[in-house]
Structure 1
Amino acid sequence: MFWPQDESLQDISPPQPGSYVQPVEDRPIGIDLFAGAGGLSLGFEQAGFDIAACVEIDPIHCATHEYNFPYSASICASVTDLTGSEIRRRAGIGKRDIDVVFGGAPCQGFSMIGKRALDDPRNQLVSHYVRLVTELRPKYCVFENVKGLTVGKHVQFLKELISSLEAAGYRVALPYRVLNAADYGVPQNRHRLFLLAARRDQTPPGYPAPNAKKTNVAEAISDLPDADQFDRLLHCDATSVDWETHSEYARRLRGLADDPANFGYAREFDARLLTSSLRTLHTQDSKKRFLETPAGETEPVSRFFKLASDGQCNTLRAGTDSARGAFTSPRPIHPELPRVITVREAARLHSYPDWFRFHVTKWHGFRQIGNSVPPLLARAVASEIIRALGLCPEKPTKPLTSGNPSLLSFTMKQAAAHFGVSPSVVGQRTRTTPEADND
């Protein structure tokens, strides 16, 4: 049950930026090379790392990362244009030994006729990942990608990646693994390839063992207030409301229960804020079809999957970029309500805490989630690196204040200007302000 409050958010607006603490100096440091909004970054922070720097080419996503990780150096650039020395300089870490470099390089093509796979221009991001690992010389590196790299002709691509890392002085933990996020506490079936490697003077890492208990959809989202009950959410992505939360999973994400395995920074956040909840308007016919669709099946007209309360979510995807029409990803149907899920509900199903904010538009918000590694899965992997380092992480005592909220509502032009880059660096989206759309 929930109780709507005065819709003015003035009394619970986020603190002004500038009061956050600096990272604890004796925490190990990591660098995220393809950061997006920060799923991998958050998982590594929760395992006990400070994120010294993130690299992200998309100014919108880089601004979202800056909001959520105000202590991290946000480098809005392509890895193709950076050197290890430049990353060190902008991160302000000098010659300090980097503990881990991690990232999921987009693989655009696998044409291997007459050439090495890593030499294919469409796979240049992976080549630059290896180059930056070589230049930065971290103790460990983590490569994350789609499970499709492990089958068919794509295996050759992986073999060349492993050979390149070994030639750079790293021992790859073999066999590499495809991990399902649902096996690590995430209420979503999502399979991702992970490849871990250690510098030759370091202890080899292992891969995380699955958790015994799985989290279901109801545990993740059943407590959230129905966005359709708030007119404010037709034109704004946040409102103030009190509600009760009972599942341990949701209570941890709301900051209402302790998570003993989370060694990340607490954020100053008011649990009455329901964020990332801009509404989607459906026709009456659509609502009727959604209600009549059995849980766990696909609605035949929209082709949307209807979630089952006692099961796991299907894989949340990012949708298409502007070059392919800028379509929002197919969002699952809520298990109990005649509508698709909100960005916040998707975030819960991806294991993001409620303090973590996304861009105010649904298109960017869903892309940021669908393109990211679930933080709990990232944490499980990162914890293996912590273990190999021989560290016993401690949770910082002082909370962080998140960044300036304006970072979350930037247009592409505004975000590009903020980082001093061209707004044409990535494809753009016409709609840049929050508004409900129709189906």
Structure 2
Amino acid sequence: MRLGSTRPIVVDVFAGAGGLSLGFEQAGFDVVAAIEYDPTHAMVHKYNFPDTEILCRDVRGITAADVYAAASRGASRMRAVRTTLDTIDVLIGGPSCQGFSSMGRRQDDDERNDLLMHFSRLVCEVRPRAFVLENVPGLLEPRFADFRNSVFKKLRNAGYHLTGTDKWVDASDFGVPQVRKRVLVFGSLESEIPELLPTPTVRKMTVRDAFDGLPEIEAYDDLLKTDSAALNAEDVRRRIGTTSAYAANLADISAVENLGRPRLWDHELLTNSLRTVHTPEIIKRFASTQPGSVEAISRFYRLSLDSPSRTLRAGTGRERGAHTSPRPIHPTLPRVITVREAARLHGYPDWFRMSGTNWHGHRQIGNSVPPPLAKAAGDLVIRSLGHRPRRLKAKRPLGDSLWLYVRPDEAANLVDARTAELPPMRIRKESKKKMAAQH
């Protein structure tokens, strides 16, 4: 049956850590199910959205029946009633986009490009009332015209009215202190969803807005060996006393237009802040690099306090060599930024936690949709569907923090992943040479 709640139901495909999920939840949706094939990312989503049903599967093997079954389980858990769904309001997702990305080689035959086809397949099979597809601006390049037009034609033939198929938006126009251009395609079976436009009165958020109230991690030796530490009284006061409305929102100390589920969390704990140890030579180079410029040897960009950040990048997954992406240099300190600082630049609240390692944490942020941009999209969709969701007051606990530190094989067991569908390992070229030399 269809639920009578005023909170519509959404399923997140290619969920990752949950940027789209969080934004749509804040807009008033119940994210009842999420599909993510990497067990490490699935565990992060499970920690931050413990009531959401996680389906750790490769989307290429997912059917409409799988989606509805997972959504029904999540809805039953979230609403404390046994639920069988016959309609899903919205399907959202950002298929892996490296084949179209300017950061990559833009390969026409990149096998990840077909994930966009599988997203459209699921839309046609599940037949949600609406969908939102997120991707990189490279999707709009002339060389991909035939590919994207075939996807859009399939969706239109299924009865969906499309908007956003010919232009990109910039997250910095939607309250995110980061220049991040993305394509957001909206589809609806009922009526055309309006174009997503920035609010003209919103000023650009800056790195200063994002970092205000965060402590200097150098004061915490514990952060040399772990990613969390209990804040001293002065730093607790600094976080609570921030004068940045943006930072106050993320620190969960100000009232904002947010319909998300309130979380129970420790306001005196700093998380995702494992320190990176640099050599004296690197520290000297970083210190001499001017804000807003690139360090000559590492080619790392140094952030400027009074501008938005450049686009945060993700690096590559295990299946493509596990290469670390360049991390920006802190605007006032001679070091790269922490995962928590990157999360602030992306619009994640301080209660939201990524994996405990720097590689996983930065990758999860760089691969995700900034929640404020996702919320803007969710606001547009929820109005178009005619819903007026209620604000939730009851605070919900987060998941088990141990989930953020498990090995990939342990994570796979915890989320019932299928071994055949796990991300494959790819050995780097230098590793191959080393192995050859040893034999």
Q: TM-score, normalised by structure 1?
A: 0.87
Stretch moving more, 24-33 or 314-323 = 24-33
Q: Are 1:203 and 2:191 an aligned pair?
A: yes
CA 1:36–1:208 in structure 2 vs 1: closer, same or farther (change >3 Å)? same
Name the CA distance, whole Å, in 1 between partners of 2:293 and 2:265: 37
Stretch moving more, 51-60 or 160-169 = 160-169
How far the C-alpha of 1:246 sits from its partner, in A, is: 2.1
* Aligned position for 1:337: 333
The partner residue of 1:85 within 57, 61, 65 is 65
How far the C-alpha of 1:316 sits from its partner, in A, is: 0.3
How far the C-alpha of 1:119 sits from its partner, in A, is: 10
Q: Are 1:231 and 2:221 an aligned pair?
A: yes
* Aligned position for 2:124: 134
* Aligned position for 1:386: 382
Q: How many residues align?
A: 399
How far the C-alpha of 1:175 sits from its partner, in A, is: 4.8
CA 1:392–1:25 in structure 2 vs 1: closer, same or farther (change >3 Å)? closer
Task: For residues 401-433 of structure 1, give each alpha carbon's deviation from its aligned partner in whole angstroms, at most 9, with x where no partner exists.
Answer: 111111111100100111222557114599xxx
The partner residue of 1:259 within 249, 256, 266 is 256
How far the C-alpha of 1:277 sits from its partner, in A, is: 0.2
* Aligned position for 1:180: 170
* Aligned position for 1:42: 22
- Does structure 2 conserve the Cα–Cα contact (< 8 Å) formed by 1:36 and 1:372? yes
CA 1:40–1:74 in structure 2 vs 1: closer, same or farther (change >3 Å)? same
- Does structure 2 conserve the Cα–Cα contact (< 8 Å) formed by 1:142 and 1:196? yes
The partner residue of 2:298 within 277, 302, 308 is 302
* Aligned position for 1:355: 351
Matched residue of 1:246: which SS?
coil
* Aligned position for 1:407: 403
Q: Are 1:94 and 2:91 an aligned pair?
A: no
In the TM superposition, 1:211-250 aligns within 5 A as: 211=199, 212-241=202-231, 242-244=236-238, 245-250=242-247
Name the CA distance, whole Å, in 2 between partners of 1:381 and 1:95: 24
Gaps in structure 2 of 5+ consecutive residues? 73-82, 101-106, 428-439
CA 1:428–1:407 in structure 2 vs 1: closer, same or farther (change >3 Å)? farther
Name the CA distance, whole Å, in 2 between partners of 1:234 and 1:129: 41
Name the CA distance, whole Å, in 2 between partners of 1:108 and 1:163: 23
Matched residue of 1:205: which SS?
coil
Code of the aligned partner of 1:86: D
Name the CA distance, whole Å, in 2 between partners of 1:291 and 1:182: 27
The partner residue of 2:412 within 413, 416, 433 is 416
Matched residue of 1:88: which SS?
helix
How far the C-alpha of 1:218 sits from its partner, in A, is: 0.6
Q: Are 1:156 and 2:156 an aligned pair?
A: no
* Aligned position for 1:14: none
Name the CA distance, whole Å, in 2 between partners of 1:324 and 1:145: 20
Q: Are 1:70 and 2:50 an aligned pair?
A: yes
The partner residue of 1:284 within 275, 280, 296 is 280
Gaps in structure 1 of 5+ consecutive residues? 1-22, 111-116, 431-439
Matched residue of 2:168: which SS?
strand
Matched residue of 1:148: which SS?
helix
What value does the CA root-mean-square deviation take over the aligned residues?
2.1
Q: Are 1:322 and 2:318 an aligned pair?
A: yes
Name the CA distance, whole Å, in 1 between partners of 2:164 and 2:181: 18
How far the C-alpha of 1:156 sits from its partner, in A, is: 2.2
Code of the aligned partner of 1:37: A
Name the CA distance, whole Å, in 2 between partners of 1:308 and 1:96: 50
- Does structure 1 conserve the Cα–Cα contact (< 8 Å) formed by 2:96 and 2:112? no
Code of the aligned partner of 1:361: T
- Does structure 1 conserve the Cα–Cα contact (< 8 Å) formed by 2:140 and 2:166? no
How far the C-alpha of 1:25 sits from its partner, in A, is: 4.2
Percent identical residues: 44
* Aligned position for 2:436: none
